[in-house]
Chains A and B, each alone.
Chain A
Amino acid sequence: MRIALAATCIADTMFPGAPSATVRLLERLGHEVVFPRSQACCGQMHVNTGYYDEAVPVIRNHVTTFAPVADGEWDAVVVPSGSCTGSIRHQQAMVCRRAGLDDLAATAEAVSAKTYELSELLVDVLGLTDVGAHFGHRVTYHPTCHSLRMLHVGDRPLQLLRAVDGIDLVELPEAESCCGFGGTFALKNADTSAAMLADKTANIRSTDAVVVTAGDYSCLMHIGGGLSRQRSGVGTLHLAEILASTREDPTPLPTTRTTEVAR
């Protein structure tokens, strides 16, 4: 398949490991990955903070960038993020319509119909659960809210993780409880966010995992920030980074604040 990658703004600038792992994984599986360079962001941050007017140009840029998928130039668009996929699927057209941009809304819907979160693409579109990955560490999985409740990915990420060779996958207690990130919520309601994070990190640490993984680097930035502050020794990796890992080309464990970093 010819698959266009929407890297997401946060991963492009802050966590390039997720989209680059997505590229390596899909290429290893024999697919062609295209990265349209005019992309920037899906508009979720603006929408969820209530800035619809400011979201419109961001959404237009995204929709225009990925419009070729609707004409069959690419077979699908993959997004290594549940919340960005959720915004593309459930918010972009609504915001366009509210701004009176019905044509753009229609294009947005056509693009979103061929846009998939990574685990959706692998399991539903490519029909895979075993992607031939190897990752020999103890891992726990946090299902992010939007992947779980906006996209209903269900246990697709877990199906993929269970098939990883060498992995010691442990269940996360109260896994489906929000980590407290919530985009600008983490700043506007920092105290409440921190209280939620405290419970999430306590549950993660109770598993003795060395890595917590998820399908969204935004939530992982929050969780990882808490784990790092606690010097917990637990690192974060995106689902794609574990699935991209092989015996020949293993994804290294992330460095954590308890680890000396040689420079």
Chain B
Amino acid sequence: MSTFLGIPGIRRRSGASDGGTPADGGSTAGEGPFGPVPHPDEPLRWGDAFPAAAKQTLANDQLRANLGHATRTIRAKRASVVGEVPDWEALRDTGSAVKEQVMADLPDLLAQLEENVTARGGVVHWARDAAEANRIVADIARAKEADEVVKVKSMATQEIGLNEYLADEGIAAIETDLAELIVQLADDMPSHILVPAIHRNRAEIREIFLQRMGDAPEDLSDVPRELAMAARAHLRRKFLSAKVAVSGANFGVADTGTLAVVESEGNGRMCLTLPETLVTVMGIEKLIPTYTDLEVFLQLLPRSSTGERMNPYTSLWTGVTPGDGPQEFHLVLLDNGRTDVLADEVGRSALHCIRCSACLNVCPVYERVGGHAYGSVYPGPIGAILTPQLTASSGGVSGADDVNASLPYASTLCGACYDVCPVKIDIPSILVDLRAREVDADRGRSGVDPWKAAMKAASWVMSDGGRFGLAGRAATLGHGLGGSDGVISKAPPPASAWTRSRDLPAPPKQTFRQWMAAHERDADHPDANYREADGYDSSHSRAETATNRSRRPGGDEGETTEGRR
């Protein structure tokens, strides 16, 4: 659209009053239909709670098809290149151990990093939260009289909503990673850590370029190479004119003060070398102690993320080098909730994450619902443990009223994420721990919580063999509920959540322990201790088995003594 000619990065945050209706889709009149997710005020907390948000994204057939194809492809690539590394497990162990050491020594390592960056001519800034980090970056850009900055793809700057903040300050932040550019042009939110436009297909991308890029060729097709070339031409002009670049960092090396960015497209290298001023925003957890530790992570990261043996571009820089590259370098060290996460013994390993996104690609939940359902720039399994911890109020808890409290439940605990994590973050265990934190935090709340009531009742029944046996026997009375085909197809709430899409088998005629009692009598079982052990009523057992003996419990095929009579 003409209003976006040349300055695609400028837009307002959804909260800003511009007469538009950001709440209904984020796009004001004439901006087109591209942004399914309006730009939120909080990049780590937007939209509905996970179940409702997922219900919406599940209804998007195009999204499901795109994601299914994309995640299957990248899963296969990763598996293939990981499989060829004989010491992969040892590498993972090392990566995990290094990150544990970083968390243990974080204050000292950060001081060491600051010292080394400063000694090499860089300027280090400390930002407690998003607002401070944004202000620091904006101040630097303004001091350089820049109304436009080029950006290297960065999760940290997504997390703090830097682009939107700069836009409000009259500074256009231009994303130069191809997928990030697509997301930005569409006024959309990223849906994947590594492939932020994974929810788009090439036909959609062509439309976005034609309508939003401003200088896309009129005869642009949807052939990937043509799309890439259009973006390349568009971005080249930006690289050459920008005075300030903003990046994130994959790694910050404490003992040398070196920063590292790994990427595939070369746009990062352009940003990191051409403009006079470079500002890097780095989460404080991205530290590694020594330069040689890069050896481990530069093997783990590309194979885990893009399924490449080595990423095409690895840029390393240390402070300022006179006459070569940016002559002014600022490093913004971002906390934004990280020290609170660090304080938790179980949850802190979420800070080990190197943002490879392997966990997203293998996650069966992510594959179906996509990134937007998580309501955070960190989606998928890592998002489900990182987001609620970063946004937790106090004591690492979100609280029942916070939509992010639903994230730890957005998993079947299938464990695929843990298996692929290059730094061995035990995501399923942290998810369970976060669930327990939420449950415990809600214990003091008044009112009836059906889950809590059910869990309490179940605990009483399930902590005693006698009570459980009686409950099971009572359940067999429901055997007839199954009707002629033995299944329940429609149940009242809350079981209706089950029967909406699956049948439920009716309880069997006989529980296992009833069958076992009969079986033991049949076999004249020598072991009689079990009955005395828990006061099981053996006389009752005898009476029961005499009339209800079955070789095979539960099924209707079993021969019963009743049937023989």
Contact = CB atoms under 8 A, between A and B. Distances in A.
Contacts of A186: 497-498
A90 B415 CA distance: 13
A257 B462 contact: no
Contact of A12 (B418, B435, B455, B511): B511
Nearest to A228: B503
A188 B463 contact: no
Interface string A129-168: 0000000000000000110111000000000000000000
Contacts of B501: 190, 193-194, 197, 226, 229
A16 B554 contact: yes
A226 B502 contact: yes
B412 A17 contact: no
B364 A225 contact: no
Given A40-B463, A145-B414, A225 B409 contact: no
B505 A189 contact: no
A182 B455 contact: no
Given A20-B515, A20-B519, A57-B463, A46 B458 contact: yes
B505 A14 contact: yes
Interface in B341-389: 364-365, 368-369
B124 interface: no
Interface in A14-51: 14-17, 19-20, 23, 27, 32, 34-41, 43, 45-51
Contact of A48 (B432, B467, B530): B432
Given A40-B461, A145-B412, A229 B489 contact: yes
A178 to B, nearest CB: 4
Interface residues of B, number: 87
Contacts of A55: 459
A196 B557 contact: no
B217 interface: no
A53 B533 CA distance: 26
Interface in B46-60: 50-51, 54-55, 58
A88 B491 CA distance: 32
B339 to A, nearest CB: 23
B263 to A, nearest CB: 30
Interface stretch (B161-169, B230-238, B468-476): B468-476
A196 B368 contact: yes
B411 A185 contact: yes
Interface string B400-419: 00000000111111111011
Contacts of B87: none
A217 to B, nearest CB: 10
B512 to A, nearest CB: 4
A103 interface: no
Contact of B512 (A16, A181, A191): A16
A65 interface: yes
Contact of A40 (B64, B465, B510): B465
A196 B67 CA distance: 13
B505 A221 contact: yes
Contact of A37 (B451, B523, B530): B530
B18 interface: no
- A interface residue count range (under 10 / 10 to 19 / 20 to 34 / 35 or more): 35 or more
Given A37-B513, A38-B464, A50-B432, A255 B459 contact: no
A246 interface: no
B552 interface: yes
A254 to B, nearest CB: 8
A209 B121 CA distance: 68
A41 B468 contact: yes
A35 B503 contact: no
Contacts of B440: 50, 52-53
Contacts of A27: 523
B458 A40 contact: no
A38 B462 CA distance: 10
Nearest to B59: A191
Given A46-B458, A192-B368, A20 B58 contact: no
B269 to A, nearest CB: 37
A257 B503 CA distance: 10
B494 interface: yes
Contact of B485 (A11, A58, A196, A257): A257
A173 to B, nearest CB: 11
A136 B209 CA distance: 59
A248 to B, nearest CB: 13
Contact of A15 (B534, B554, B557): B554
Contacts of A176: 416
Given A36-B530, A178-B414, A181-B412, A51 B459 contact: yes
B458 A222 contact: no
A252 to B, nearest CB: 5
Contacts of A50: 408, 432, 434-440
Contacts of B519: 20, 23
Contact of B554 (A17, A178, A226): A17
Nearest to A241: B552
Contacts of B435: 48-50
Contacts of B513: 7, 12, 35, 37
B504 interface: yes
Interface in B511-564: 511-516, 519-520, 523, 527, 530-531, 533-534, 536, 552-557
A7 B468 CA distance: 12
Interface centre among B418, B434, B463, B505 (most CB of A within 10 A): B463
- The residue among B50, B368, B429, B475 with the most chain A CB atoms within 10 A of its own CB is B368
B533 A37 contact: yes
Contacts of A221: 504-505
The winner among A91, A183, A255 for most chain B CB atoms within 10 A is A255
Contacts of A57: 459-460, 463
Contact of A180 (B364, B410, B468, B505): B364
A149 B419 CA distance: 7
A256 B516 CA distance: 26
Contacts of B471: 13
Interface in A210-241: 221-222, 224-226, 228-229
Interface string B438-467: 111000000000011001101111111111
Contact of B502 (A47, A191, A222): A222
Contacts of A101: none
B432 A20 contact: no
Contact of B556 (A7, A34, A194, A255): A255
10 contacts: A27-B523, A40-B467, A145-B412, A187-B494, A187-B498, A192-B368, A196-B364, A197-B502, A261-B485, A261-B556
- Would you list the 5 A-B pairs with minimal beta carbon distance, nearest first? A182-B412, A225-B502, A50-B435, A149-B415, A38-B534
Interface of A: 7, 9, 11-17, 19-20, 23, 27, 32, 34-41, 43, 45-55, 57-58, 60-61, 65, 90-91, 98, 145-146, 148-150, 176-178, 180-197, 221-222, 224-226, 228-229, 251-252, 254-255, 257, 261, 263
Given A58-B459, A189-B54, A263-B556, 17 more contacts: A7-B513, A7-B516, A13-B511, A17-B555, A40-B461, A50-B438, A51-B459, A53-B440, A61-B463, A98-B436, A177-B364, A180-B364, A185-B411, A194-B501, A195-B368, A228-B502, A251-B552
